[in-house]
Amino acid sequence: MIEKIQFRLDELSKIAQTILNNVQSKTLLFYGQMGTGKTTLISAIVKELGGNNSTSSPTFSIVNEYDVTKDTVYHFDFYRLKNQNEALDMGVEDYFYSGSWNFIEWPDKIVNLLPENVTILELSLAEDESRILKISEKKLSDGWSKK
């Protein structure tokens, strides 16, 4: 599945629903430059999953946990990670194989630790300040190692 969608921020709820209706993996990798709206999109997806708490970037805590309807979302921001051992030390594999949702910002920092099946969400800014979202499903065993 490869899908490309252009949207405005006032359409986030609809985009979040589209993502949830089309992903095959509960591990979502968010790629994009700072300011493209990764955390904002994650907040919209958490809300669509039934989350009532406000979400924020776990830049300093590395992981935030959100209770959603009948599930949990783990939201990771690996931007400040110095190496993959830091992720291993925090038990990242336990989160990844918990059966819960995993939303990962800056996944390139831990690519060798990612689960087999992932969904890649690539965000970029369009010239008119709208966002462009490209969605694709990947399997590490297919030779994929980075976006």
Q: Tell me, yes or no, whether 147 lies in a domain.
A: no
Q: pLDDT tens digits, residue range 117-131?
A: 999 999 999 999 899
**What pLDDT score does 59 carry?**
62
What distance in Å separates the CA atoms of residue 95 and residue 103, rounded to the nearest whole number?
A: 11
**Tokens describing residue 133:** 């979202």
Instruction: Tell me whether residue 117 is in a domain.
Output: yes
Please indicate, yes or no, if residue 96 is contained in any of the structural domains.
Answer: yes
Helix H or strand E segment including 2: strand 2-7
Q: Which amino acid is at 80?
A: R
List pLDDT tens digits, range 78-137.
998 999 999 999 999 999 999 999 999 999 999 999 999 999 999 999 999 899 999 998
Is the Cβ–Cβ distance between 63 and 57 less than 8 Å?
A: no
Taking the alpha carbons at both ends of the chain, their separation in whole angstroms is 15
Secondary structure letter of residue 112 according to DSSP: G
User: pLDDT of 48-69, one tens digit each?
Assistant: 999 986 776 766 578 999 999 9
Would 28 be classed as within a structural domain? yes
Alpha carbon separation from 70 to 37, 47, 49, 110, 127 (Å, rounded): 26, 13, 9, 28, 39
Q: How many domains does the chain have?
A: 1
**58 is written with which tokens?**
């776990």
pLDDT bin (cut points 50, 70, 90) of residue 147 is very low
Cβ-contact 53, 42 below 8 angstroms: no
The answer to whether position 61 is within a domain reads yes
**Owner of token pair 């968010």:** 30
CATH number at residue 111: 3.40.50.300
pTM: 0.89
Within a domain: 84: yes
Full residue range of the structural domain in which residue 90 is found: 2-142
How many Å apart are CA 101 and CA 46, to the nearest integer? 10
Domain contains 44: yes
Please, which residues bridge with residue 124 across strands?
132
* pLDDT number for residue 53: 67
**Is residue 122 within a helix (H) or strand (E), and if so which, with residue range?**
strand 117-125
Q: How far apart are CA 135 and CA 5, in angstroms?
A: 8
